[in-house]
Structure 1
């Protein structure tokens, strides 16, 4: 039965990497060549950065979910380990949002708070 969970986790990892790579190569780069993107904060830079980090956050979420699925293969469900995986996933969200938007998209604050709260609640 554990094999099924590990296979599902592997599929999620593969999907996450394919999503990020193919999205950058075939969707985002073509979208960003358009000259009619909304101009927020004086240019379309914020729009492009927001679209890019939001795209890749999906992949980060799938990587976190793959780790949770892999933990489900264990005979005993370890609540502390699940909390660490969730906290790490949202810490990655925090960094992607903060760096990807240069701090302008305020979701980084929520992701950081969620990460810290989950760490706190899991100890």
Structure 2
């Protein structure tokens, strides 16, 4: 059952990104007024885009955790998977806002803590 739930979450995450790009993000970015964010329009647009896609990546992280638990993986493996996914999430604000949105640092630190915890069996 957990593997099926994981597959459903992975499909949701992928569909969320694809459909969001096609039907939501483009519409939002075409608006003349975007939220006033330090760094101007490009940072606001990048923040909208990465925030949308980070939701998808986190849905895929849940999928990964469910599948790993479903196949009876160790807790260290699940935590490592979550950690590396958080590190991958850091790439989105780095790319889309050129590092101007500070969330990337939190993703890196949290992901690193998970990865180190899994490696040292401090889970």
TM-score (norm 1): 0.90
The separation in 1 between residues aligned to 2:52 and 2:108, in whole angstroms, is 19
Query: Alignment RMSD, CA only?
Result: 1.3
Give the aligned partner of residue 22 of structure 1: 19
The separation in 2 between residues aligned to 1:120 and 1:37, in whole angstroms, is 39
- The number of aligned residues is 119
Q: Structure 2: give runs of 5+ residues left out of the alignment.
A: none
Give the aligned partner of residue 108 of structure 1: 104
Aligned structure 1 segments of 4 or more residues deviating by more than 4 angstroms: none
Asked if 1:49 corresponds to 2:46, the answer is yes
Give the aligned partner of residue 78 of structure 1: 74
Contact 1:71 1:82 in 2 (8 A): yes
Contact 1:6 1:69 in 2 (8 A): yes
Give the aligned partner of residue 115 of structure 2: 119
Q: Structure 1: give runs of 5+ residues left out of the alignment.
A: none
TM-score (norm 2): 0.90
Cα separation, partners in 2 of 1:85 and 1:42, compared to 1, 3 Å: closer
